[in-house]
Amino acid sequence: MTALLLANAAATLFMLGLAWFVQVVHYPLFPLVGEQGFAEYHRVHSSRTTWVVLPPMTIELLTSFLLLLDPPSGQDVLVVVGAALALLTWVLTYFAASAHGRIGSEGLSTNSLRRLLAAGWVRTAVWSAHGVVVILLLGSAIGEAG
């Protein structure tokens, strides 16, 4: 098992857990902040979130594409699927950031929260699929080593 695969799995599984937390706990709590303090809360939230997600997302994307150059034995298809899923999370995150930008400038409405949650579920599903891919890759690597 390579360090590259371990780094990819660690970053992907970290983001998978974070995506589920944000989707199930964090976003649904937005309305409880209150209208008066929401703009500042959201500004700080967005700034701090970037520092938490950017490093593992970058590692996930880079290692997903580097695995294309040296895939684990017999796992070419899974590696291609993993790279595609990693790229898709970046595309979906771009749209989520756009939704956050609108929420930051217009405030939180029922419709904007509903759209954010709907888009978040798509992104969470994609990260879940990538999580399955890296677990299968790890299982294959462990099977080869054992």
DSSP single-letter state for residue 70: S
The first and second tokens of residue 39, run together, are 């703009």
Which residue ranges make up each domain of the chain? 3-145
Residues 6+ apart with CB under 8 A from 85: 64, 126, 127, 129, 130, 133
- Asked if 87 and 95 count as a contact pair (C-beta separation under 8 A), the reply is no
Dihedral over Cα of 82, 88, 90, 93: its sign:
negative
One digit per residue, the tens of pLDDT, for the chain of length 146 reads 589 999 999 999 999 999 999 999 999 999 999 888 888 899 898 889 999 999 999 999 999 999 999 888 889 999 999 999 999 999 999 988 888 888 888 888 888 888 889 999 999 999 999 999 999 999 988 877 66
3-state DSSP call for residue 71?
coil
When computed from its CA atoms, the radius of gyration of the chain, rounded to whole angstroms, is 17
